[in-house]
Structure 1
Amino acid sequence: MSDRGMLIEFGGLPGTGKSTLARLLAHDTKAVWLRIDEIEGAMRRNGLTPEQTGIAAYSVAHDVATNHLQRGLMVIADAVNPVVEARDGWRHLAADVDADHVVVETVCPDSTEHRRRVETRAGDIPGWTYPSWDQVHELMTEYQPRTGNHLVLDTTRPVDDTYQELTTHLARRTT
């Protein structure tokens, strides 16, 4: 890998496996893992309302990512990124600091499995409440389709298989 930083942008609806894959990748690569849910959770624990945290959490993540990318590190951005503006923010950030940028979208096309994941997921962020299935279903109507070059990972497959596809894709990008 070069001395350039690498931004790996994970996006996808809640419950599609973004954080599962990002956690594995961060562990294996010792990358900086910026999870928007964690940032929003900290903001809420410190008195901000959900209406105040969304855009602000992305802004905080961008500022933290900038520093690490400028030092040539790998940064994993783990966020729903439901709209073009959120995605453009990551793209512009990578360009501004001359970092490589890899976009990964997780999908769970089996709606029964997706719902099961959403309804049974264990909380791992203090004070954070994950969205309900109804809220995820509403977000589906607002989620803008991705365009451009990106890796789409169908997470209905076993995690090990999906993770292998991810790491193979990244290895091709860094050689």
Structure 2
Amino acid sequence: MAILFVFSGLPGVGKTTLARALAPRLQAVHLRVDSVEAALKTSVLAISPAEDAGYVAAAAVAMDNLRLGNNVIADAVNPIEITRNIWLEAALGAKVKAMHIEVVCPNEFEHQRRVESRHNDISAMCPPTWNDVKRRKFEPWKKHRLVVDTFQKPIQDNVEDILESFSQLVRYGSY
């Protein structure tokens, strides 16, 4: 049975790096909301800012892939409960489980260094500044999730932790 892995976290904490390392291990589709929003921005409709459109479009693609039996990694900031629930609805619609993963970098100096030195690999998007990230609203989670600290552990160790939690989810229905 397919699983929807829902990543959340502020820009620069390592969500995309982690998703790129995890996707081949799970043979998962990596859906990056930034890529969808960039496509909307460069479309003839020039949708920018995308508001919820990027999330809604990516969740629809996620549901299609989940129904085909593909694991999916949803890579997005998911800053508020409304955006997090978009993914839950996709999982429910596909009749699969969702695993929520909050990616954090609790060391402010390292987080700032990452934001300020990151390479922009989506030409249609302007990466946020450190001030943008600090001002970003990010609601605390109310639901169970796996918290992954990309400052304390290397990416490969975090991948192994996620895979272990995934195997518990498959075996026992929770992690």
| Common topology (TM > 0.5) | yes
Find the counterpart in structure 1 of residue 138 from structure 2: 143
The alignment's TM-score, normalised by the length of structure 1, stands at: 0.91
Aligned to 2:168: 172
1:160, 1:74 → 2: CA distance?
19
Partner SS, residue 103 of structure 1: strand
Q: Percent identity?
A: 37
CA distance in 2, matches of 1:18, 1:72: 23
**Could you tell which deviates more after superposition, 99-108 or 62-71?**
62-71
Q: Counterpart of 1:135 in structure 2: which amino acid?
A: D
* RMSD of equivalent CA atoms: 1.3
1:162 is the counterpart of 2:158: yes
1:57 to 43, 54, 58: 54
C-alpha distance in structure 1 between counterparts of 2:110 and 2:21, whole Å:
21
The DSSP-based 3-state class of the residue aligned with 2:52 is helix
Aligned to 2:84: 87
- Secondary structure of 1:34's match? strand
Distance in 2, Cα, partners of 1:40 & 1:120: 22
Per-residue deviation, 1:135: 0.5
Query: Per-residue displacement from partner, 1:56-82 (whole Å, max 9, x unpaired)?
Result: 111111111111111121011000000
Give a deviation string over 1:89-122, Cα, whole Å, max 9, x none.
Answer: 1112211221111000001110000000000001
| Number of residues of Structure 1 aligned to a counterpart in Structure 2 | 169
The alignment's TM-score, normalised by the length of structure 2, stands at 0.91
Runs (5+) with no aligned partner, structure 2 = none
Moved over 4 A (4+): none
Q: Distance in 1 between matches of 2:118 and 2:32?
A: 16
Deviations 1:120-151 (A, max 9, x none): 00111232211110100110xx2100122110
- Identify the residue that residue 6 of structure 1 maps to in structure 2: 3
| In structure 2, C-alpha distance between the alignment counterparts of 1:133 and 1:90, rounded to whole Å | 27
Partners of 2:57 and 2:85 lie apart in 1 by: 16
Partners of 2:60 and 2:90 within 8 A in 1: no
Q: Which runs of 5+ in 1 are unaligned?
A: none
Q: AA paired with 2:141? A: R
Which of 108, 112, 118 in structure 2 is aligned with 1:111? 108
The amino acid that maps onto 1:162 is: N
Contact preservation (8 Å) 2:21, 2:155: no
